[in-house]
Chain A
Amino acid sequence: MSVVVKVKNAETGATLDMELEPENTINEIIESAASFWHRDSGAYVLRRGKKVLSGSSSVRDAPLITGDVLELIPDPEGG
């Protein structure tokens, strides 16, 4: 059964609703959101509250539920 989550772009404050299947992964959410916002040239992590979600986790394993708010945040790589 699919779930619908809200993904927030931490850089702009923009949000989008994303429909997910249980087998979708956090990696797929990150890639889809980054692509939608044309943020393909950087590394990002996805968090729910204080927790950074593991890229290989599935929606089922995370577990994500309808109404969850996830935030896409840049993972800086410079030094």
Chain B
Amino acid sequence: MRKIVRAGYQDEDRLDRSRRIEWLDLDRICGSTAVLVGAGALGNEVAKNLALSGFAGITIVDSDTIEMSNLSRCAFFSEEDAYRKRAKSEALAEAVQHLHPTMSVDFKKCRIEELPSDFFQQHDIIFGCLDNINARLHVNSHSRLAGKPYIDGSMRGTLGRVFVSLPPDGPCLECAANSSHSKIAALRFSCTGSETAVFVPPVPAEITTTSVISALTVREGLRLLSKEAVPLDGQMIYYDGLRNTLELMEVDVDPGCPNHGI
């Protein structure tokens, strides 16, 4: 049968340019749903990348409201959002819906610890854009328990790292943690676990660090979902923006890690 192709038809397909990238498994990506935990600087950029990549759905989780000081690093928040003290999760959800109108977008204005334990099982892949170790370890352990891959991005100044945790066998974020992480986690919370006992002004990420780490974080997700690309497992990407170096570092399963063997 003769096939007739209409000139210019490619430009009516929003994902046409992505389809030309051979290693991308767009069918799988477009059928996948993601959880994005943390809607700050990194979360804004990661959400943008997920929407433009064609994900079928995204659920954004963050308990914070927008402050004026967020506006120098979060592309999707406005002064009006800050005046209204709008929820970060809601504002970001609305923005990415505009980027990708057919994507299923949901948001939860709460701490990730408040969501039911089966929340992670309802999604295909988890992205962490958090600002504290306790929440990171929570997402890490619950993703692993649900059997879902967890990709965690983090930043400070011009430094950043991306860690990929692939259950059931690969090392997890907690395998790479040590007593310095425990010390910081304990410092940030009072004995009740709800109030900040010690305030340490955070060193914010320089915004170009955010761009680099968000790209690497989503890239790992795309590699993971695309059969022909080999995802990182047991390795973390470490970025030093002052030296402009990227390194892969190896992490072993810690035999004492509580997330292995459960």
Contacts and interface: CB of A to CB of B under 8 A. Distances in A.
Interface of A: 26-27, 30-31, 34, 40-47, 50-52, 54-56, 73-79
B91 interface: no
Report, as a range, how many residues of chain B touch the other chain: 35 or more
A36 B111 CA distance: 36
Interface in B223-262: 236, 238, 247-252, 254, 256
Interface stretch (B9-17, B113-121, B124-132): B124-132
A76 B163 CA distance: 12
B249 A74 contact: no
B146 interface: no
21 contacts: A34-B180, A40-B183, A41-B184, A43-B177, A50-B247, A50-B248, A50-B249, A52-B236, A52-B252, A73-B238, A74-B156, A75-B154, A76-B155, A76-B157, A76-B160, A76-B205, A77-B131, A77-B136, A77-B156, A79-B41, A79-B155
Contact of B178 (A30, A51, A78): A30
B203 to A, nearest CB: 7
Contacts of A34: 180
B180 A76 contact: no
Contacts of B132: 77
B5 to A, nearest CB: 46
Contacts of B153: 79
B191 to A, nearest CB: 20
B180 A44 contact: yes
A19 B260 CA distance: 33
Which 5 pairs across A and B sit closest by C-beta, in order of nearness? A55-B178, A76-B156, A27-B179, A79-B129, A79-B42
B125 to A, nearest CB: 17
Nearest to A28: B179
Interface in B169-200: 175-181, 183-184, 200
B181 A43 contact: yes
B155 to A, nearest CB: 5
A74 B159 contact: yes
Contacts of A45: 176, 178, 180
Contacts of A26: 178
Most buried by A among B129, B153, B183: B183
B164 to A, nearest CB: 14
A52 B161 contact: no
